[in-house]
Amino acid sequence: MSTITRHILLVDNIPETLILTSEYLEQNGYAVQSAAQPFHALVLFIDYPIDLAVIDVRLQNENDEHDKSGIKLAQILQLIRPLPIIVVSTYRSVSAVRKSLHHLPGKRAPAVYFLLKREGYPALLDAIEQALTINTVHLLEKMTDRFNETDFKMLCLRLQLSFTDLAGFTLRDRMLSLLEYQQRRTQLHELVRQCRELRPDQDW
């Protein structure tokens, strides 16, 4: 980890989660600003030199599967100032993953990572450290632009993965599944290395 202190904005509507997660991140050398509500998060984002944000998907109602207020907050932060954002949730939602990582024309995707809380603090720490060095939204867009299906199958082969085992109906969906898989294994650097070897003329 860099000797320069990185500032993290932590947003979660559960007080106990804010306290425990803040303590864990501070013990690992990060400065943490925490908020339970989107408005407070916006104030902290403006007042502090935030390097990365960790935002829960459901900030209004933990039991409402339609609550995507955390993703909306992430979108607002990106409009103010682009930065890496990790969207976390207790509940796995495919639509939330797609919405948090999908890049719309002319806009930045709201999140770099989607992480399940049950994966634990070590996984969160790994995701933070990777997000500060690797932009997965940029990586996904480069893969989509530069790899056809044959190229992507070759990439999977080099990573010793089966193309058919990756979830998704479209090629882009499978690419997103590969990113998520490499993220969980903390092997994004290896993915970038293989992409560079296949397309050395690109800025990965």
Which CATH number fits the domain that encloses residue 59? Answer: 3.40.50.2300
Residues 30 and 99 in one domain: yes
pLDDT at 95: 64
pLDDT digits (tens, 9 = 90+) for 35-55: 999 999 999 999 999 999 999
Residues 108 and 39 in one domain: yes
Backbone angles phi, psi at 57, to 5 degrees: -65, -45
Residue 3 confidence (pLDDT): 60
**Of 68 and 137, the one with more pLDDT:** 68
Same-domain status, 67 and 141: no
Residues 126, 141 within the same domain: no
Please report, rounded to a whole number, the percentage of residues in the chain having pLDDT higher than 90. 54
| Final residue before a domain boundary, out of 86, 114, 131 | 131
If asked whether residues 167 and 100 sit together in one domain, one would say no
- Taking the C-alpha atoms of residue 113 and residue 119, their distance in angstroms, rounded to an integer, is 13
Residues 116 and 159 in one domain: no
User: DSSP state, 3?
Assistant: S
Q: Tell me: do 17 and 45 sit in the same domain.
A: yes
- 126 shares its domain with 140: no
Q: How many CB atoms lie within 10 A of CB 14?
A: 16
Domain boundary among the residues 111, 131, 151 is at 131
Assess if residue 28 is contained within a domain. yes
Q: In terms of domains, do 169 and 100 share one? A: no
Q: Is residue 1 part of a domain?
A: no
**155 shares a domain with 124:** no
Residue 44 lies inside a defined structural domain of this protein: yes
Is 203 contained in some domain? no
Tell me the whole-structure pTM to 2 decimals: 0.71
Q: What angle do CA 134, 82, 185 make, to 5 degrees?
A: 25
Most confident of the following: 22-36, 48-62, 102-116, 168-182: 22-36
Q: Which of 131, 148, 171 is the last residue of a domain?
A: 131
Q: Looking at the structure, do residues 31 and 73 belong to the same domain, yes or no?
A: yes
What total of structural domains would you count in the chain?
2
Please report, for residues 19, 65, 112, the alpha-carbon distance to residue 68 in angstroms, rounded to integers and kept in the order given. 22, 8, 16
Looking at the domain assignment, is residue 29 inside a domain? yes
Residue range(s) defining the domain that contains residue 94: 7-131
pLDDT tens-digit series, residues 170-179: 999 899 889 8
50 and 150 part of one domain: no
> Cα–Cα distance between 200 and 90 in angstroms, integer?
39
